[in-house]
């Protein structure tokens, strides 16, 4: 069992690094099944938690919350308990239940600190930052993301994609807190890293943030370029949230370019995502008449 | 004093103040409105103070709750303290385009605009006549 399990876990890790999250999720699931069949609960739990981690990256996996909670209560393996708490927090975040998400994130932070593994400490700090930024607590998010990035960079063999994500997260917070150019520089660095490893699944959020940053810095051509690229990728990966954000940012870019006709086109596409409100020219006029860039939270 | 004034005039603070005014006009408590748009009451309170950035999804939920009057929220709510909103950015864009035209081009644009205005007035009158005919059963 052990060799087959190890092989599956290695393949899953390679799939994740290669940005094939669906394949990684399936491989972790197979590894969990093999371990369970062999009666190795610890390994089964470990593989199952990684499986959930891939699902949440794909904005799925909320139905696994009960089983993750069971692992958190049952397991005597602290790393598996950390993974269970962490993934439960992320899954609750996906469900927009921020209170429960915060509670499990705090548990994950405690467990990561008692384990003392830098990778886990940085992951839980990043999660705490993500929850803080969703609630517009930017100062708190700034300190969490700084910690995540510092710890991630402090050890050999750090994960390139995660480092890039943390840089992007910190960059966005900086843009929201009057440090526009430092934020843009960090996001550009993240973008270069993600492009180098071909991590398109993570790249489009960085491009969205760069669209916002360049828009605020009045680099309108650059903002449009980043926004259109992010929009194409978000549509390809069926990420509606980022697609909507990009349409909003592109419409504002077009307005500032003086091209209200193009702005209207983007806004019609945006309002189509909200059938309960309907495509109303009046709503579009609200967006055309009002600069909402400093009111909207792209990570909200 | 200067800081307070600056804080009051940030876009987020303006939107927050207008949101608060509109909520009160609708006799909604913070708890009721927060529940309708799916955020915490404390977050709505922070939004009204310009400290909370709202997601696009929540912004559209606000649009749904306030319906058409949401345009008042953005356009007319602070008309007294923000007269520049009398002209929208699209209006300004039209003026900007017209300013770039030659004398002759301006005259042609004016003629075209006047034609469009007359045409729309005629269309509106025709619609009103048709409606009035239906109401009287003729």
pLDDT, tens digit (0-9, with 9 covering 90-100), for A13-23? 999 888 799 99
Whole-number average pLDDT of chain B? 73
Phi/psi of residue A195, nearest 5 degrees? -65, -35
SS3 call for A145: helix
Helix-, strand-, coil-residue percentages of chain A, each rounded to 5: 80, 0, 20
Confidence of residue A149 (pLDDT cuts 50, 70, 90): very high
Nearest CA in chain B to A243: B56
- Mark which residues 51-110 of B lie under 8 Å from A by CB: 51-60, 63-64, 68, 70-71, 73-75, 85, 88-90, 93, 96-97
Nearest to A283 by CA among B38, B72, B46: B72
Nearest to A28 by CA among A7, A59, A2: A7
Interface confidence: ipTM more than 0.90: no
CB pairs under 8 A between A and B: 89
Residues from chain B that touch A212, judged by Cβ atoms under 8 A, are none
Residues from chain A that touch B15, judged by Cβ atoms under 8 A, are 290, 292, 295
SS3 call for B22: helix
Say how many CA atoms lie within 13 Å of A287 toward its Cβ: 31
Residues from chain B that touch A296, judged by Cβ atoms under 8 A, are 53-56, 59
Q: Choose among A282, A293, A296: nearest Cβ to B59.
A: A296
Nearest CA in chain A to B38: A96
Q: Over the stretch B15-34, which tens digit does the pLDDT of each residue have?
A: 888 889 889 988 999 999 99
> What DSSP line would sit under B65-85, residue for residue?
HHGGGHHHHHHTTTTTT-GGG
Alpha-carbon span B22 to B29, nearest angstrom: 11
In angstroms, the separation between the Cα of residue B56 and the nearest Cα of chain A is 6
In this prediction, residues A120-135 reach a mean pLDDT of 94
In this prediction, residues A155-172 reach a mean pLDDT of 88
pLDDT at B69: 55
Q: Over the stretch A82-108, which tens digit does the pLDDT of each residue have?
A: 999 999 999 999 998 888 999 999 999
Q: Over the stretch B66-87, which tens digit does the pLDDT of each residue have?
A: 875 555 656 544 444 443 345 6
Alpha-carbon span A49 to A273, nearest angstrom: 33
């Amino acid at each position: 069992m052990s060799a087959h399990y190890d092989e599956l876990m290695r393949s899953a890790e390679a799939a994740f690094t290669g940005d094939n999250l669906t394949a990684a999720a399936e491989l972790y699931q197979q590894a969990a099944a093999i371990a369970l069949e062999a009666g190795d609960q610890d390994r089964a739990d470990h593989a199952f938690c990684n499986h959930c981690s891939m699902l949440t990256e794909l904005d799925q996996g909320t139905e696994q919350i009960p089983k993750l909670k069971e692992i958190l209560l049952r397991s005597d393996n602290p790393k598996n308990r950390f993974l269970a708490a962490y993934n439960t927090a992320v899954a609750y975040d996906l469900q927009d239940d921020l209170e429960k998400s915060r509670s499990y994130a705090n548990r994950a932070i405690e467990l990561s600190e008692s384990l003392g593994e830098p990778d886990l400490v940085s992951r839980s700090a990043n999660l705490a930052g993500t929850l803080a930024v969703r609630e517009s607590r930017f100062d708190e998010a700034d300190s969490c993301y700084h910690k995540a990035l510092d710890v991630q960079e402090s050890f050999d063999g750090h994960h390139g994609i995660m480092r890039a994500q943390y840089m992007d997260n910190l960059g966005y917070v900086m843009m929201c807190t009057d440090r526009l150019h430092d934020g843009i520089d960090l996001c550009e660095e993240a973008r270069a890293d993600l492009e180098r490893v071909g991590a398109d699944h993570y790249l489009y959020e960085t491009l969205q943030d760069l669209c916002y940053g360049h828009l605020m810095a009045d680099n309108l051509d650059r903002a449009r370029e980043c926004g259109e690229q992010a929009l194409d990728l978000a549509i390809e990966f069926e990420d509606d949230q980022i697609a909507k954000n990009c349409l909003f940012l592109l419409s504002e870019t077009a307005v500032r370019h003086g091209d209200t006709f193009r702005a209207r086109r983007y806004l019609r596409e945006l309002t189509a995502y909200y059938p309960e409100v309907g495509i109303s020219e009046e709503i579009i006029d609200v967006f055309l008449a009002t600069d909402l860039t400093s009111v909207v939270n792209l990570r909200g | 004093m200067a800081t307070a004034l600056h804080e009051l005039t940030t876009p987020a603070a303006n939107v927050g103040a207008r949101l608060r005014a509109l909520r009160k006009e609708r006799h909604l408590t913070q708890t009721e409105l927060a529940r309708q748009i799916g955020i915490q009451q404390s977050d709505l309170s922070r939004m009204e103070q310009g400290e909370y950035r709202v997601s696009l999804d929540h912004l559209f939920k606000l649009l749904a709750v306030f319906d058409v009057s949401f345009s008042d929220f953005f356009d007319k709510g602070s008309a007294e303290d923000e007269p520049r909103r009398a002209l929208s950015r699209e209006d300004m864009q039209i003026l900007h385009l017209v300013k770039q035209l030659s004398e002759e081009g301006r005259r042609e644009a004016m003629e075209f605009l006047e034609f469009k205005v007359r045409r729309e007035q005629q269309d509106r009158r025709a619609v009103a006549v048709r409606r009035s005919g239906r109401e009287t059963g003729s």
